[in-house]
Chain A
Amino acid sequence: MSSREGLRLVEKEYVVGLIALPNAGKTTLFNFLTGSRGYVANWPGKTVEVYTGFVERDGKKVKLIDLPGIQSLHTLSKEEELTKEFILSKKYDALVLLVNLESLYRSLYFALQVLEVTNKVIIAVSKLDTAASRGVKVDIKKLEELLKVPVVAISSLKNIGIDELISKTIAVAENKYKGKGKYKLNYGILEEYISKLMAMGEERGIAVRLIEGDPYLLDKINQDKRIKVEELRKGIKKRLGIDPEEHIARVRYEEVERIVKQSVNYTERLIKGKTFGEKFDDFILSNWVLGTLTLLSLTIAGLFVIFAINTGFPLNWVLDNVGLSNWATFIENYNLGGLISLGFSLLGNDLVKPLMLMLNAPTWSIDLVVNGVIAGISAVLSFVPLVYMINVFMAIVDDSGLMARSSVIFSKISRIAGVSGKAIFPMGISIGCNVPGVLATRILEDDKERYRVILALPFIICQARLIVMIFMLSAFIISPLLQTSSMLFFYLLSFVMFAIAARLVSTIKTYRSEGEELAVELPPYHSPSWKVVNWISWDRSKSFITKAGTVIFPASIVLWLITHIGMHGYTTIPAQSLGYILGSWVIKIFKPMGINDWQLGLALLSGVMAKEIVIESLAIAFSTDNPIVAIRALHLTIPQTLSILTFIMLYVPCIATLAVIYSETKNLKFVFLNLFTEISLALVASYVVYAALSFLPL
């Protein structure tokens, strides 16, 4: 706390949660209310990021918490779980519930679920104008009367109703609407069961949720009560022959329909005929092949531009193939990531190094600072523009409504791996780089699926691995036909391995989800707000620097130490370093293929840092500047080359990927499961490749 804050003695600060269904425009509202001055932090004890910001009014301060979007109180992910816990905890002064008119029924259903538990709620209704153009007119006063809590019509983009929302939120927080009581639904034949629980001291809202079998609440109550609740639930099923969950849901929906009938007026649509979005939907949804091709080309085009700007790939490859190899070399060197690395390399070699030499710093310390510390910082920062742009891309796809369509269209392909259509995005991104690929799994609704995808993602061959592949193939395989077919084989293999890994992990109960099948809402298309997209993306990039950076940076120092420390202290000769011992030890796994070079072992070890280092490390170990010369010094046969390449393509994601896997899951056990799966499957695959090729006359 700053001293200034400390001086203002007792200042009223109200805790207010902002809740809504996903894509309701909650972030836009939060952003507007707090003036983009929110900060993001992990929720205490959780790995979920939550934004907090402040709104001040007449000397009163509102601490506004932007809780993750929630589909329903039947939660699937830890984000939704957090929001639910918050609602049920009642540790707030008010809740702002944003209702999106594009999905009024579900918003109201969710609102009823909340209102049964608490009446410290204010409802903000947004998108009135777009709804009106669709012929939906809402009577706000009537809605307020029916729901028994204040309802405000707002538009954060046009600054309508925001002042009223703030003042009424404070009024709710100050208990000014207290008299009206909580929302009560009549559950008919279930009422006697609800009363029984209420007689045991439960609030009505909680009692209803317990009868529904809410797993979160069942877990919270004591053993005796839980047994009692289970008895009651069994009794309902047996004596009444109904499923309590279904019955309660139906009563709520009937209530929603009653509310809609009384407060919403459906008139004729202002827009005649089909909108562009509806026509587009007709086009992509009616023909699977056309739909897949359209959405896939849109996705590829977007990712192509982003990766070309950041890494040069795959534009360099395209340019090379149309005979513009000068241009290809140019963008290989002068892309954003390359420029950042170049900047840091100049900083290290041309500024820090001479400066340290001037100060007579010992050689080892110069080497450590330049090739360890500065290279480490460079490794973290060179990812930042890419992470930012991928975040922007994903936010646009999600916000516009294209993500929901993609999850429908792509589900036919993705089902092979037992994952939803949305998983195509992290996969596609991973072809460029696994790091933003793992970050992009945030779009997956179901946590269990998210784990499955994260575990399988590192099998997707990223650009860095492609570089290793090209070098090794051109060093040992002369025939262009064999080169091309090998490349195709590796990409195919990587997708097959993705599917195998995702399938394999779903045999573990923790990661298996029930009812994997597709069930999504297709919201109307709208153009995303640039301000919000930019804000979210920038914030996520910052959290990448702090979270993943704290792993990537020390790891690069450790790698420097391995290759520069030996039995006799600091050394620049790899054969005298710790790397020699470790390299000779690692390469033992390839003894059956007749490969014994410790240099390759060390290269594989260094490849954990970043895959392109495999080549660099070989060059250093063989003391040459020419990577092809270094690779040829291994004297590998074709089966050996392809087998070792299989291993390199699959064995471990780079340290940056491992770092984001850890920062996204905060589960060390899972990171090790990841490593174990990758290494073992890579080994099996490389043995199989070697055995198969040994029988062929190559």
Chain B
Amino acid sequence: MQTLAEVEEGKSVRIVEIMGGYGLISRLLRLGIIKGVVVSVVRNRGPVVLRFGDSIFAIGRGMAMKILVEEVVRVEQ
């Protein structure tokens, strides 16, 4: 198991756990990032830039370190 902050650029991962309080979870929820969804990491230097669905998001490194993920095999659409 790794955190989102450790994922290589270009890889897709599934969010397994968000280790944070209500504030953190609801902030991510506003963007649609919740347990179970698959995101791909676009950039991972400084803030982590993610693609989720058709949108691009940036989240702070500190936040990314609180998100546990597992790698998934990328399904091409």
Question: Residues of A with Cβ closer than 8 Å to B?
Answer: 71-72, 74, 76, 101-106, 109, 136, 245-246, 249-250, 253, 256, 260, 266, 282, 285-288, 404, 408, 411-412, 513-515, 517-523
Nearest 9 pairs between A and B by C-beta? A514-B23, A105-B53, A515-B23, A518-B60, A517-B60, A515-B24, A522-B56, A408-B58, A517-B63
* Among candidates A101, A246, A412, A518, residue contacting B25 with C-beta atoms closer than 8 Å: A246
Asked if A136 meets B59 with Cβ closer than 8 Å, knowing A253-B34, A518-B47, the reply is no
Question: By the criterion CB–CB under 8 Å, are A518 and B30 in contact?
Answer: no
Chain B 25-69 interface 0/1 with A at a Cβ cutoff of 8 Å (1 = within)? 111111111111100000101110100111111111011000000
Asked if A109 meets B59 with Cβ closer than 8 Å, knowing A74-B26, A288-B46, A517-B24, the reply is no
Complex-state Cα separation, A103 to B28, whole angstroms: 15
Candidate in A282, A513, A515 with the most chain B CB atoms within 10 angstroms: A515
Main secondary structure of the interface of B (DSSP, over half): mixed
B20 in contact (CB, < 8 A): yes
**How many B residues touch A, CB cutoff 8 Å?**
35
Q: Which chain B residues border A521 with CB–CB below 8 Å?
A: 31, 55-57
Give the distance to chain B from A164, nearest Cβ to Cβ, in Å.
25
Q: Which residue of B lies closest to A404 (CB)?
A: B58
Asked if A514 meets B54 with Cβ closer than 8 Å, knowing A250-B36, A519-B31, the reply is no
Question: By the criterion CB–CB under 8 Å, are A74 and B57 in contact?
Answer: no
Instruction: Work out how many contacts link A and B, with CB atoms closer than 8 A.
Output: 112
Q: List 9 A-B contacts (CB under 8 A).
A: A253-B34, A285-B47, A288-B45, A412-B46, A514-B24, A515-B27, A519-B31, A520-B57, A522-B56
* Among candidates B36, B43, B55, B62, residue contacting A105 with C-beta atoms closer than 8 Å: B55
Q: Which residue of B lies closest to A260 (CB)?
A: B53
Question: By the criterion CB–CB under 8 Å, are B55 and A285 in contact?
Answer: no
Complex-state Cα separation, A411 to B60, whole angstroms: 9
Question: By the criterion CB–CB under 8 Å, are A105 and B63 in contact?
Answer: no
Q: Which residue of B lies closest to A522 (CB)?
A: B56
Complex-state Cα separation, A245 to B35, whole angstroms: 11
Q: Which chain A residues border B56 with CB–CB below 8 Å?
A: 521-523
Question: By the criterion CB–CB under 8 Å, are B23 and A513 in contact?
Answer: yes
Complex-state Cα separation, A136 to B25, whole angstroms: 30
Q: Which chain A residues border B43 with CB–CB below 8 Å?
A: 282, 285-286
* Among candidates A71, A102, A411, residue contacting B54 with C-beta atoms closer than 8 Å: A102
Complex-state Cα separation, A567 to B33, whole angstroms: 69
Question: By the criterion CB–CB under 8 Å, are A519 and B34 in contact?
Answer: no
Give the distance to chain B from A664, nearest Cβ to Cβ, in Å.
23
Give the distance to chain A from B76, nearest Cβ to Cβ, in Å.
10
Complex-state Cα separation, A193 to B20, whole angstroms: 26
Q: Which chain B residues border A104 with CB–CB below 8 Å?
A: 53-54
Complex-state Cα separation, A287 to B20, whole angstroms: 28
Q: Which chain A residues border B29 with CB–CB below 8 Å?
A: 72, 74, 245-246, 249
Complex-state Cα separation, A266 to B77, whole angstroms: 7
Q: Which chain A residues border B28 with CB–CB below 8 Å?
A: 519
Complex-state Cα separation, A106 to B57, whole angstroms: 12
Question: By the criterion CB–CB under 8 Å, are A285 and B31 in contact?
Answer: no
Question: By the criterion CB–CB under 8 Å, are B34 and A515 in contact?
Answer: no
Give the distance to chain B from A525, nearest Cβ to Cβ, in Å.
11
